[in-house]
Structure 1
Amino acid sequence: MNTIVAPSNTITMSSREIAELTGKQHKDVIRDIRVMRKALVGDGADLRHLHEIKDGRDYTSEFHLDRLLTETLLTGYSIPLRHRVVTRLSELENVSRHVVSIPQSLPEALRLAADLADRNGELQRVITDQAPKVAAIKRLAAAGGAICITDAAKQLGVAPSRLFSWLEQHRWIFRRHGGKRWVAYQPRISSGHMTHKVTALRPDPETGIERAAFDPMITPKGLTRLAELMQEAA
């Protein structure tokens, strides 16, 4: 096969990434770039690969610099900071080198087609694996806040009795000894999957003590997790 290697001399780095890599404030990096630009303009340097990006208010949002200008900027930085940015530039260059193989015969074309089919199959597997998360996000968006278990069952497309049974079996809810009301397990509350709705009841007629009922509720996070578990089981 013939090989074509894409050129890597157009690699650019944004001032924001430079700030992240060096731990500097972005406004300070922009200031340094302007100082560098002023000095290079006075020296007659080529600044075609220094691009200033502005927002809707005409303020500088960020700069984009090619490798040469990035390394020039780093001259005034410490050695560890220069090393971080130069290492990142090398990584970007490696990513930008695309090797394109052009089949020159039928067997080579068939091998290329087989390789592409394998990659497509792998991509399809990733999509399939992500399907429960996608469905969960849709249900989450429709659900809003915490909802009761019966409403959660509707969102999940299962019978309420089945969901109650599943939640009990997998230790999401339980009934206290001698009690009739469901209660959420504390670990499920601590993890943010469930919460309780507190309803004030009439005071005890004999003691006058105020009472309250605790109804288990499924949070959006809990509904997301249930949607994933239900689809994985299916």
Structure 2
Amino acid sequence: MHLLKQLNHEQLTMSSRLIADLTGKEHKHVLRDCLNMFGELEISPEGYAQNWTHPQNGQTYVEYQLTKDLVETLITGYSIKLRFRVIKRLHELEIKSASAVPQSFAEALQLAADQAKKLELAAPKVDFYDALAERQNLMNATQLAQKFKKSAVAFNKILESFDVYNRCVKRGRVFQQWFIDQGLGELKETALGFAQPMFTTKGEQWVFNKFASEGII
């Protein structure tokens, strides 16, 4: 039983969007705080990123699903009032999560059997999703531009002024080698065989910091 409670505790998470709602901060500022935290801890943010679809405009945005220890680390620099709101919500989630823990060995066995059945049914999909996993953590210029509320055309013009793209390539856009070497972007082949520039999460952070320093956002 102790092990089950430990696993449940480790699985407790909170999204960056919920943290923004609880603290009254803009989500883009919470995302910035998350990226800075990931950088300081020297951990990859890719495992915490997930897509969120806006219920009104249908557009997809990135948010981070943080474990309890990362949530507590993130809000350390926030005011006491804001920390209290987040911690109070964490405790509520803990209570709710604890109620779902099996209370007997028989319940634990049934839970394991149910999960095994789900894995068996999902098996044909595993290869397909594995093939997409690498690209899901990357974003093209259009997707990243949406986060900054800009068109892809305007977004790319700004990046061109920062020497992100190789101007010697006339057909399509290709990252400069320095951008790739720093892990800010990758070139992925499309179904038609063309090279498509894709931004990593580290690249997203670089763009955010660059735009902020230049007064663009």
Query: Taking structure 1 as the reference length, what is the TM-score of the superposition?
Result: 0.36
Larger C-alpha radius of gyration, 1 or 2? 1
* Higher helix proportion (structure 1 or 2): 2
Whichever structure has more strand as a proportion of its residues is 1
TM-score of the two chains, using structure 2 as the length reference: 0.38
